[in-house]
Structure 1
Amino acid sequence: MTLNLDAPFLQRRDANFRPLTPLNFLFRSADVFPDRDAIVYGDRRVTWRDYARRCLKLASALRRAGIEKGDVVALLAPNIPAVLEAHFGVPLAGGIINTINIRLDAAAVAFILEHGEAKVLLVDPQWSAIAREALALLPSKPLVIDIEDDMAEDGERIGDLTYEELLATGSEDDDVVWPQDEFETISLNYTSGTTGNPKGALYHHRGAYLNALGQVLHHKMDADSVYLWTLPMFHCNGWCFTWAVAAVGATHVCLRKMVAEQVFDLIEATGVTHFCGAPTVLGMLVDGAERSGKRLGAPVAVMTAGSAPPAPVLKAAEDLGFIVRHVYGTTEMHGVVSLCDWHREWDGLPGAERSRMMARQGVRTVVTDEMMVADPVTLAPVPRTGEAMGEVMFRGNMGMKGYLKNPSATEAAFAGGWYRTGDLAVVHSNGYIDIKDRSKDIIISGGENISSIEVEEVLYQHPAVASAAVIAMKHDHWGERPCAFVELKVEGSLAAEELLDFCRSRLAKFKVPDRVVFGPIERTATGKVQKFKLRDLIQDQGH
């Protein structure tokens, strides 16, 4: 006899099923830790009770201003309290939060506002000039709200009212809008735009909820944690930490701008225990410590991603007292989906080998269902040899809903039932993946594949090098050859031939760059090198 598990009395009901959403995290922390600091910003401190009240007032004010379910509310602001409030207040109003990259130019901001059909735009005064220029390009303008901030460097009012005036129109007693389906959209995140117009990835409540819990678990956070906002909140909603910190009732420490000395001061003053950032952030802190002689009074956990962190940077960061957790993810997967989950037996490895192990992208997170490295055509997984290369793919609850207004790009991204990252990796015998390049960045020279990341890793080993990026340069005989762009810690401290000699002693001859270009390397706000601009530069110079 088969059990009847489909009986009417065993079905879904209010008492046993609710759509998953991170919005509940706010109210739990307000109930459990009402008088603890939720937000620290300069001299300002906001308790969890008051944080929840302000989020409810924001939700009410937006509804009274005409925001309906599915409307987009955009923000152009750095890591300030208003952005944290919007991560709850906007979806509690039924809206979709769209945090815009503050490093974009006016044309790109205008594209995002028009493409996302933003009904409201919240603007920090420091970005008022960019916002004004962007708004002038729009055929239809949103309601503009000025976020007044004494810590902003400059700017002027351009909006219809201020943020505090907006909040004053709302009531914390008004009803809020809960998702009826956990696959409803909670946020709209535009890709970095390293090529062409950015695409708008739509996040759902289920993915945001699960990834937030995965983050606090893997970053080992609890109610006593203090999280410093070095990672932009506009990047994958701060890798979902905008919601994750609320899940455990920890404390946010807001930071308008990443300055190494200020980070060390805030760590000491506020007891920071955790933060996130690209490897460039780690590099800035290492360089800042060298200049100032600052050190950590207690260990601080750092989650880093954005590109493969150079082993020398990882080692230097650990020597300062940072506990580095290397993670990997994409905008299209709600942020972080894999990490180099550490084995305690690796602690005894020699320094260089330990850093190389830590630089791997590792294994899927606890909330990531499936990850594989496979042939992009046949979907056959590559063998675990550490040599066979394939494309990194994911599937499961972390996948975005799709790209806004872009069905063809959505279908291409999910072709074959997997999200295609475009990253090329090998799989080691223990199942840990190791990304070697972007599919478009691999250098094919005389039929041989050259990993730009491998060459960059060697360049980073030189003590005079602050940053490096390697691209393919056209070659009449070999097809392509590596070209290295290098930022030095001290300008003029190293000659190109000296650096190439350094590479020759550490790389196969065919992998050594043909050319070195010294100077600044342009990156996106999320730490990704804009290699297409480097390629354009080489092309403009006739190479």
Structure 2
Amino acid sequence: MRSPDRTELTPLDFLRRSAFVYPDKTAVVHGDRSYTYREFELRVRRLAAGLLGAGLQPGDRVAFLSPNTPPLLEAHYGVPASGGVLVAINTRLAAAEIAYILEHSGARYLFVDRALAGLIDEDALAGDGVSLVRIDDTGAPEDPYEAFLGSAVGSAVGSAEPPPLAAGPADEEDPISMNYTSGTTGRPKGVVYTHRGAYLSAIGELIEAEMTPGAIYLWTLPMFHCNGWCFTWAVTAVGGTHVCLRDVDPGRIWALIESEGVTHYCGAPTVQIMLVNHPSARRLDHPVRTMIAGAPPSPTLLEHLRALNFEPIHAYGLTETYGPTATCVWHADWDDRPPEEQARLLARQGQGFVTSDMMRVVDEEGRDVPRDAATMGEVVMRGNIVMKGYFAQPEATAEVFRGGWFHSGDLAVWHPDGYVELRDRAKDIIISGGENISTIEVEQTVARHPAVLECAVVAVPHDEWGERPKAFVTLKPGADATEREIIDFCRDRIARFKCPDAIAFGPLPKTSTGKVQKYILRDREWAGREKRIN
């Protein structure tokens, strides 16, 4: 039975507390602008009051289309403080995709950055009754977003200052945000996050990233992606400093690490590869913790990061799990092992956060597979940091939660120590002549070649074996390697039946969050052929 004096869990409490405890501490840095926690909290109150003054009703969706700027960070507090639900939209989407999300979510308000305004049909939005506010990202009074905040003072709320932040939701299971999936296999789905889930996910990130009040977090990860893996709330919870960054520029990132004293950042393997191979790369004077998720990092990448004094935290999750929900926790007895073995151990996905439930690997009947590091099954999860469901899609929600567990679609093995290691997405596994081939294993092998920057492996048609691996490779700047050299390199390290039959060189197609779009490569290879699995 719920205690009558219990308060509901909400990340709004993080800002309320930090503004009280650290009022004069720098909360946000953006170029030559900065805000203290007192100023940050005041701007959030003005955003919330402005939305209420504009007629927002409880549960209304408020969309933001913006790079990593203070307005988008403020929206993570101001929108739920007004009773609304934040819909942070992927900035790399096409106009038609953005229009679909706005329509499907039923957004009543849209805040759009000046650089992205061309993706919006203002006449169509007006016809649908969507209120539009432009963000110039100047911080000047004439910026329409700043004017909107100013509207909260005086006539909009009847006082010189907006009221304090709301105490929180009536129910911690109320939605706080909706994040749309990438939509690579169909229309994107709106993943519903709750106040409780966001609160506990943020706490989990703090524990795994070992954040303290001295944390200086660089926003290399898009805030629109799973609400920045919930670091939008986590950094504020400890009174850390948010360093905003409009664009991912590896040279700029290296400069900010030094000038701002950055202690933490997050990024997909693609971002990490850009950093370790940039001309500015050097061993850091102070350790920087970096959380890696979005795709499995290769042991080679992890080894390079550690050599530069980065402390990689390998995490795993999906949009449906508030971003990372598991991590490969380091064990003290790994300290004395060779770097290559350390990297191999760290490349596993590990186990659930303190605030999530333990992951399982199950067969088609939902039974645990043996913990033998060989038998493959599907990764399933449940607990506090799994989504509430898909917005307005009850059938899809019921299907993915069959048996009372969230089915990830990821194939993995279970090690004797309880750690999980991904082998592939179910749709990516290669079945060649009846043998299963993990594209991740092949990719990690190719990535060890000294000339390879990054790679992706997909199944391609084969008349005898049904399908075979093909590697798509991007070489490091100035490096050279032939197809035969890379294939022979693989044959010296893994079974020959797993080695790619062909190598294609060039850039890889990617999503805005750095994931390689394998389906584009696969569809290209299978054009005009009916896929056959032996």
* Contact 2:451 2:479 (8 Å CA) reproduced: no
Amino acid in structure 1 at the alignment position of 2:324: V
1:419 matches 2:401: no
1:530 matches 2:512: no
Give the match for residue 506 of structure 1.
Answer: 493
The counterpart of 2:276, out of the listed 283, 286, 293, is 286
The counterpart of 1:400, out of the listed 362, 371, 387, is 387
2:52 is paired with a residue whose SS is helix
CA deviations 1:407-449 (Å, max 9, x no partner) are: 1110111010000000011111111110010011000000000
TM-score, with normalisation over the residues of structure 1? Answer: 0.93
Amino acid in structure 2 at the alignment position of 1:301: R
Unpaired segments of 5 or more residues in structure 2? 154-160
Give the match for residue 3 of structure 1.
Answer: none
The counterpart of 1:34, out of the listed 23, 32, 36, is 23
Distance 1:444 1:139, change over 3 A: farther
* Contact 1:55 1:85 (8 Å CA) reproduced: yes
Distance (whole Å) between structure 1 residues aligned to residue 127 and residue 482 of structure 2 = 52
1:170 matches 2:160: no
Q: 1:324-343, aligned counterparts within 5 Å?
A: 324-343=312-331
Distance (whole Å) between structure 2 residues aligned to residue 175 and residue 48 of structure 1 = 14
* Contact 1:60 1:176 (8 Å CA) reproduced: no
1:308 matches 2:299: no
Distance (whole Å) between structure 1 residues aligned to residue 322 and residue 37 of structure 2 = 25
1:246 is paired with a residue whose SS is helix
2:290 is paired with a residue whose SS is strand
Q: 1:181-330, aligned counterparts within 5 Å?
A: 181-288=171-278, 291-330=279-318
Give the match for residue 346 of structure 2.
Answer: 358
2:305 is paired with a residue whose SS is helix
Give the match for residue 373 of structure 1.
Answer: 361
1:13 matches 2:1: no
Deviation at 1:150, TM superposition (A): 4.5
Amino acid in structure 2 at the alignment position of 1:104: L
Distance 1:137 1:148, change over 3 A: closer
The counterpart of 1:497, out of the listed 484, 491, 496, is 484
Distance (whole Å) between structure 2 residues aligned to residue 122 and residue 493 of structure 1 = 46
Distance (whole Å) between structure 2 residues aligned to residue 30 and residue 492 of structure 1 = 51
Give the match for residue 99 of structure 1.
Answer: 88
Distance (whole Å) between structure 1 residues aligned to residue 212 and residue 325 of structure 2 = 20
Unpaired segments of 5 or more residues in structure 1? 1-5, 152-156
* Contact 2:351 2:358 (8 Å CA) reproduced: no
CA deviations 1:5-28 (Å, max 9, x no partner) are: x7xxxx6223xx011111111010
* Contact 2:275 2:281 (8 Å CA) reproduced: no
Deviation at 1:149, TM superposition (A): 2.2
Amino acid in structure 1 at the alignment position of 2:436: N
**Higher mean C-alpha deviation, range 508-517 or range 74-83:** 508-517
Give the match for residue 154 of structure 1.
Answer: none
Give the match for residue 516 of structure 1.
Answer: 503
Name the count of aligned residue pairs: 520
2:277 is paired with a residue whose SS is helix
Distance (whole Å) between structure 1 residues aligned to residue 458 and residue 106 of structure 2 = 36
Amino acid in structure 1 at the alignment position of 2:24: D
* Contact 2:254 2:281 (8 Å CA) reproduced: no
Aligned CA RMSD, in angstroms, stands at: 1.8
* Contact 1:456 1:470 (8 Å CA) reproduced: yes
CA deviations 1:225-256 (Å, max 9, x no partner) are: 10110111011100100011111101000011
Amino acid in structure 2 at the alignment position of 1:78: P
The counterpart of 1:125, out of the listed 93, 114, 139, is 114
Distance (whole Å) between structure 1 residues aligned to residue 126 and residue 443 of structure 2 = 41
Give the match for residue 451 of structure 2.
Answer: 464
1:237 is paired with a residue whose SS is helix
1:466 is paired with a residue whose SS is strand
Give the match for residue 460 of structure 2.
Answer: 473
Deviation at 1:542, TM superposition (A): 6.8
Give the match for residue 429 of structure 1.
Answer: 416
**Higher mean C-alpha deviation, range 490-499 or range 418-427:** 490-499
Deviation at 1:292, TM superposition (A): 3.0
CA deviations 1:129-172 (Å, max 9, x no partner) are: 12248x74896151111111249xxxxx9xxx811111011144
2:80 is paired with a residue whose SS is helix
Distance (whole Å) between structure 2 residues aligned to residue 41 and residue 137 of structure 1 = 30
* Contact 1:114 1:138 (8 Å CA) reproduced: no
CA deviations 1:345-388 (Å, max 9, x no partner) are: 1011111111000000001110012311111x211111111001
Distance (whole Å) between structure 1 residues aligned to residue 56 and residue 519 of structure 2 = 38
TM-score, with normalisation over the residues of structure 2? Answer: 0.94
Distance 1:293 1:416, change over 3 A: closer
